[in-house]
Every structure is written in structure tokens, then in C-alpha cells.
Amino acid sequence: MQHEENNEIVKSELLVITGLSGAGKSVVIQSLEDLGYFCVDNLPPILLPKFVELMEQGNPSLQKVAIGIDLRGREFFKYLVREIDAVQSRKNVIVDVLFVDAETEKLISRYKETRRKHPLQEQGDLTLVAAINEERNLLAEVRSLANYTLDTTKLTPKALRKRVYENFNKENKSTFTINVTSFGFKHGIQIDADLVFDVRFLPNPFYVEELRPLTGMDEEVYKYVMKWKETNTFYEKLLDLLLFMIPGYKKEGKSQLVIAIGCTGGQHRSVALAQRLAEELKQTYDYNIYVHHRDAHIESGE
């Protein structure tokens, strides 16, 4: 559908949601439904162009549509990339792809909790680990098409719903989102990051006893991290690089950019720098800019 609003052409929006089984696609779809999306789950990929044709006929209820596609329809899944390529060339509908991911260990834990079988285990004798790895291989190409990625490894359902709201509640907002995140390398790298910066070379507040139980969101830690010459030299170079790169990502049609800053435990240095960077980007750009601290709640420190 295409109509005029305030003398501007407004196109219909289609969000294709796919990703690993057990990563949280159902929560994402439910959250989008709460945001006013018309949602369809488990649509065979070969029907995607037909659905886009319906959207182009002008039905107001199909202005914003989210479609979940996964391996439950695996006899058709091999057509997914082809059909996404076909509908992305349509002029009257904006088509984005959201890929929902999680680390293998977390997926195993979730399957054990629910006692459900992985879709690839329903036929054949694959172990759960083998099924997850096979699914990653099958999804590798479509993952490369994604405008958005969501790593749900560390997210509760409530936190995941919040992240969906931040990225897709676009009324009166820019359609480009920057997520600045901090993480700890010892807890695993941020797998949905577009850009990863390692700040483990900076002086570590963990070795200052009174700062150890705090995080980079506390003023004492923030000041400690920022007082060093090497911190400010790094930050200036990082900011200069990002100010050069960000317009290019947006120009190329990327809808979301995830900038991840990692230190040892994700408590101090990465948190302080992520806070500073997010605030500076908010002052520079009129985009949706959020800051998240993946591991700052973990009490083990760095």
C-alpha cells in the first residue's frame, strides 16, 4: 500500500522474522503485534510475494506487517533467500529482515527446560547440538541479508520485548537505530554486533578495591576510566572513526547498527565508554540511540 500523509509518500512496511529455533522469535512476533503490526507466523516462503501483492492493494490493516518464517516449513525454506530478493525489489513496500540469534549453550538450556525437540530432530537421529549447528548452516545466507539482528542469549523475555519496542516503535521517530552495548569477553563476545572494540588495554578499575563492586555507571568508576590519557586518545579516535562510518551504513540501507565495546568482565571500562559514546552520538545524530550493558549486572567482576 502507498498513500500520502502530510504530503509525503508513506510506503507499507514488511518485516520478515527468521532465525534460530528457540532464540525467541515467538516473543518478537507477540511484541510486534502489541505495537500494531499485522503478524503472520510460519508462512511458507513461496507465499511471500503473494502476501506483498495483498499489501499493495491498499488494505489499511496491512500497513505494517511482520511475517515469521522458520524451519517448521523446511520443505519450502530453501526458497527463502530467493523470495526475499524478489520482494525487496518491489517499489511500494519496504522490506526488512530481522534475524533472531542466540549462543548454542543457551539454546540447549532452553530446549532442556521446555523438553521440546528441535525441528531438525523430528526426522533423523541428530543430537540437539548437531541439529542447532545444522540450522546455523542452513540460515547462514539469510542471516547475511538481515537489516536487524537480535542476540537473545542474555535477554529475558521482558528485556527482549523492551528491545523490540526500542527498535520498531517508530512513530514520529527516525527509522535508523544505533545500539551501543558493553560486554565482557569472559562471558562471550556479543554475537549480534556489527562493530566490536576491545578496551582491555586500558587501566582496569577492578584492581582498585573500593571500585571493584561498582560499575561504569557509577561516577567514581567513570571518572577513573576517563582520567587516563590513553582512554581519551582512544575515545577520540573511536569517535572520529564512527562519525565517518555511520552515515555510510545508513546510506547503504542498514536499519540498525550495533556497536559493542568489550572489556574483561563487562563491568567497568566497557560500561563507562559505552555510556560516554551513546551520549555523544545522541548529541550528534537525530537517530534512535540506545545503550545496553549486557554483563554489568553480573557480580563476579573483572
Q: 281 and 219 in one domain? A: yes
Q: Is residue 214 part of a domain?
A: yes
Q: What is the pLDDT of residue 4?
A: 46
DSSP 202: S
Are residues 153 and 245 part of one domain? no
Are residues 67 and 127 both part of a single domain? yes
Domain termination site, one of 122, 139, 166: 166
Same domain, 30 and 150: yes
Domain presence at residue 206: yes
Residue 45 is which amino acid? P
- Encode 19-52: b = buried (16+ Cβ within 10 Å), e = exposed: bbbbbbbebbbebbeebebbbebebbbebbeebb
Q: Is 191 in contact with 136 (CB distance < 8 Å)?
A: no
Which cell is 124 given?
A: 533423523
What is the per-residue pLDDT across 106-127, written as a single tens digit (0 to 9) for each? 999 999 888 888 888 876 778 9
Residue 282 lies in a domain: yes
Does 222 lie in the same domain as 127? no
Measured from the Cβ of residue 257, the count of other Cβ atoms closer than 10 Å reads 21
> What's the helix, strand, coil split of the chain in %, to 5?
45, 20, 35
Binding residues: 19-26, 70-73
Gap between the Cα atoms of 19 and 140, Å rounded? 10
Decide if 4 is inside a domain.
no
Q: Are residues 99 and 196 in the same domain?
A: no
Are residues 245 and 266 located together in one domain of the fold?
A: yes
Residue showing cell 526475499: 84
What is the model's pLDDT at position 74? Answer: 65
Continuous segment of H or E residues that includes residue 67: strand 64-68
Boundary (domain end) residue, out of 134, 166, 198 = 166
**198 shares a domain with 282:** yes
Residue numbers in the known binding site for GTP are 70-73
pLDDT of the residue at 6:
47
- The 10 Å CB-count burial string (b at 16+, else e) for 191-217 is bbbbbbbebeebebbbeeeebeebbbb
Q: Which residue ranges are tagged as binding site for ATP?
A: 19-26
297 assigned to some structural domain: no
In a domain, 301, yes or no: no
Strand ranges (E), 168-207: 177-184, 195-198
Do the bridges between strand 2-5 and strand 8-19 make them parallel or antiparallel, or are there none, so unpaired? antiparallel
Kindly give, in sequence order, each residue whose CB lies less than 8 Å from that of residue 78, ignoring residues fewer than 6 positions away: none
Taking 70 as the pLDDT cut, the residues of the chain under it are 1-10, 73-76, 123, 170-175, 298-302
The answer on 194 and 138 residing in a single domain is: no
Residue 147 and residue 29 share a domain: yes
pLDDT at residue 297 in the model: 73
- If asked whether residues 140 and 53 sit together in one domain, one would say yes
88 and 185, same domain (yes or no): no
**Residue 118 counted as domain residue:** yes
Domain residue limits at 114: 10-166
CATH of the domain at 29: 3.40.50.300
pLDDT at 269: 98
Burial class (CB in 10 A: 0-12, 13-18, 19+), 75: exposed
Among 166, 188, 207, which residue terminates a domain?
Answer: 166
3-state secondary structure at position 296: coil
Q: Identify whether 97 is part of a domain.
A: yes
Name all contacts of 228-237 with Cβ < 8 Å and 24+ positions apart.
228/202, 228/203, 230/201, 230/202, 230/203, 231/202, 231/203, 231/273, 234/199, 234/202, 235/273, 235/276, 235/277
**How many domains does the chain fold into?**
2
Taking the alpha carbons of 191, 291, 280, 170 in that order, is the dihedral positive or negative? positive
